[in-house]
Structure 1
Amino acid sequence: MRRGRTILLNVLAIGVLGLLLSLAEAYCNGYQTQILNLIAINIILALSLNLIYGFTGLFSLGHAGFMAIGAYVCSILIMTPDQKDMLFLLQPAYDWVENAQAPFFAAVLAGGAVAAIFGAIVGIPLLRLGDDYLGIATLGFAEIIRVVANNIPRLTNGALGFKGIPAYADLWWNFGWALVTLYVIVRLLQSNTGNVLKAIRDNEIAAKAMGVNVFRYKLLSFTVGSFFAGIGGALLASLLTTIDPKMFLFTLTFNVLMIVVAGGLGSLTGSVLAGIGITVLLEWLRVVENPVDLLGFSLPGIPGMRMVVFSLALIVIILFRREGLMGMRELTWRSLAGVFSREKA
């Protein structure tokens, strides 16, 4: 398919998305709008983790840590000094924390940038480890970030966290950043760098034998993934308007990992589709946590049961469709054109 036609179709698709967002703003209630916002943020997080794990083969479990960094940095920058003065009850905030302020766009970028810096710093020693050891080490990093956030009250307000964060993250911001994330990662993967990352994933030894600086490319992938994890954390903080260290437990990384695995490791299309489906499904499964009457028996609600049900569903996916929804396939304009041409024939 010609490049000009592809660009035109992309522009039309963005226009359709904009129309749908306008309709959603007009006709969706607050709860439905919140679900749509969570879909956009989960897509950002899934794409960033898929770049690290699905396309580069780095088993990372530290996404919650990078999200926490982005969330705290963004929150500090978009809250007013008066808000911070009232929030910091345990100990007064550092002067530079209390007086720091920036527009929302700059604050989100700063959250992603600081997360990327931390990704590069921890990546230099950790990316030299093997697969399983890397997963354990990045999990430890995420826990360190959470514990540090809990114990520096002059920076993060300790266990109390932040409340009353300005709610700037609406549908337009969240889906706009989701499109930016998708565009950047697609362009990265379509370049020669993307081919190198896939070669490292498939056979690292062969890539080294071909003269590839494996460590440098791993660090690049890890840093870019960390940047967008920080972006997702920043948007989530502004969407929920409250954060605290307990939000950024391992389960947060596990939720993102579920989306990546269910969609397909090495498929951006799969991450987008699974981000939509799993976010909706997790909300729909809240019904299993409520009391229900079944055949004359009253069953009490069990908090957390939806995650049990969903974890069982993930096990079934791994057992019977290990490649996920899309495997390593992508949904492109060219593939869609091929489908329509076969149907006409």
Structure 2
Amino acid sequence: MKQRTHLLLSIASIVLLVAIIWWADGNLNAYYTRIANTAAIYIVAAVSYNLINGTVGALSLGPNGFMALGGYTIALLMLPVMQKQMVFFLEPLIWPFSEFSLPPSLYLVGLIISGIVAAIGAFLIGWPCLRLKGDYLAIATFGFGEIIFVLANNMLFLTNGALGIKGLPELTNLWWSWGMAAATIFLIKNIVNSSYGRAMRAVRDNEVAAEAMGINVTRIKMLAFVTSGFFGGISGALMVMLISTISPTLFMFTMTFNLLIIVVLGGLGSITGAAVTAVLFSVLQEVLRTVESPLNLGFIQWPGIPGMRMVVFSILLILMMLFYRRGLFGSWEFSWEWLLSKLRRKEVPQCQQQTNK
């Protein structure tokens, strides 16, 4: 009975999400649609990043590298052949990318290939680096992100260097971004709740004890790292096909810093926290733009200071971390059981009041 109730609630939530996307797709203007798309892309990136940083407890500083791999892959796959000849005028694009491109109808195939390329990159960097711990792992993965940045600037025959790749078809919309966000949450949640997820948490709590219990620590870390890289590549591909351009500066270390803020502020290991905080982060980044604009209320005049948005944002981050040291959600996860228990608690006092009458 309980499983049936949970299934019905899950179906109802999917229907509700589809209805909201359908309404938003037809009623929101371009500005709010861009914010909604960005929020969904951050959900994909943050939830997958949380798998390695929160669930496994291994500090990785290289998600910007995975996003860049996915972004450049989708750009090379989806840019029309005629457009490639115009974009790569400094140095011709190498074969086979110069000879073919995927049609928009195969966008999903392009996203999956982008994720696979990023996952391969995660495997190659994870194989030597995941034997490291703590700060050493963080420095190694940070170096990976910087390597990708340098290669993107200098491999003109593949990335067009600092000029980047422009004129991409804008294929990412609310259906794609939020569909991928929902799929990412579903898949990551199933991994976390599986035996592999329990092994990941065991590694996070005590590596020595986990290894003594027969858990292959390096293998578990590799699984989380490759999975995180796969979805990180997809998030990078979604972002590139949203803004229809890519350059090396798009996925600098600032992107990793943003994701780290989302994961830590939401609560390490909490999928719910990562998803909700990703939305709050995207909205707050836009709302705070108003503090950079001149404001005249008669008795109060604000001249508008460029860069003030980041000052206010940083102050808010400091306050949040002072009052919510384990993040906004801690290790808490949303579940239908939690929601139903809350509803039952509300029903009990009402029944008692009717009985007293």
TM range (shorter): over 0.9
Paired residues of 1:70 and 1:231 also in contact (CA < 8 A): yes
The 3-state SS of whatever aligns with 1:98 is: coil
1:169 aligns with 2:179: no
Q: Unaligned 5+ residue runs, structure 1?
A: none
| 3-state secondary structure, aligned to 2:98 | helix
- Whichever residue aligns with residue 338 of structure 2, its letter is S
- Name the CA distance, whole Å, in 1 between partners of 2:146 and 2:109: 27
Aligned length: 344
Choose which of 326, 329, 335 in structure 2 pairs with 1:326: 329
Unaligned runs of 5+ in 2: 349-357
Aligned position for 1:146: 149
Secondary structure of 2:240's partner? helix
- SS of the equivalent of 2:34 reads helix
Structure 2 length-normalised TM: 0.94
For residues 123 and 115 of structure 2, the distance between their equivalents in structure 1, rounded to whole angstroms, comes to: 12
Matched position secondary structure for 2:35: helix
Q: Distance in 2 between matches of 1:173 and 1:42?
A: 13
Is 2:224 the counterpart of 1:221? yes
- Aligned pairs for 1:224-303 within 5 A: 224-293=227-296, 295=299, 297=301, 299-303=303-307
3-state SS of 1:96 partner? coil
Question: For the Cα contact (< 8 Å) 2:291–2:304, is it kept in 1?
Answer: no
Q: In structure 1, what is the equivalent of residue 46 of structure 2?
A: 46
- How far 1:297 sits from its partner (Å)? 4.5
Letter in 2 for 1:285: L
Conserved? CA contact 1:292–1:301, under 8 Å = no
* 2:72 is aligned with 1:72: yes
How far is the alpha carbon of 1:298 from its aligned partner?
5.1
Partner of 2:58: 58
Cα distance in structure 1, aligned partners of 2:28 and 2:304: 31
Instruction: State the distance in 2 between where 1:154 and 1:314 align.
Output: 41
Amino acid at match of 2:287: W
Q: 1:92 corresponds to which residue?
A: 92
Separation in structure 2 between the aligned mates of residue 27 and residue 95 of structure 1, nearest angstrom: 43
Identical pairs, percent: 44
The question of whether the paired residues in 2 share the 8 Å contact of 1:76 and 1:100 is answered with no
Out of 106, 119, 130, the position equivalent to 2:133 is: 130
The equivalent of 1:16 in structure 2 is 16
Matching residue of 1:188: 191
CA distance in 2, matches of 1:159, 1:49: 27
Q: Is the 8 A contact 2:64 2:251 kept in 1?
A: yes
Which residue number in structure 1 is paired with residue 314 of structure 2? Answer: 311
Larger Cα-atom Rg: 2
State the TM-score, normalizing by the size of structure 1.
Answer: 0.97
Q: Give the aligned partner of residue 341 of structure 1.
A: 344
How far apart in 1 are the matches of 2:131 and 2:320? 31
Give the deviation of 1:313 after TM superposition.
1.8
TM-superposed deviation, 1:229? 0.4
Verify the 8 A CA contact 1:124 1:219 in the aligned structure 2: yes
- Matches of 2:272 and 2:304 in 1, distance apart? 39
Q: Structure 2: how far apart are the matches of 1:90 and 1:135?
A: 36
The answer as to whether partners of 1:159 and 1:244 remain within 8 angstroms in 2 is yes
SS of match in other structure, 1:316? helix
> By how many angstroms is 1:26 displaced?
1.6
Q: CA deviation at 1:20?
A: 0.5
Query: RMSD of the TM alignment (CA)?
Result: 1.3
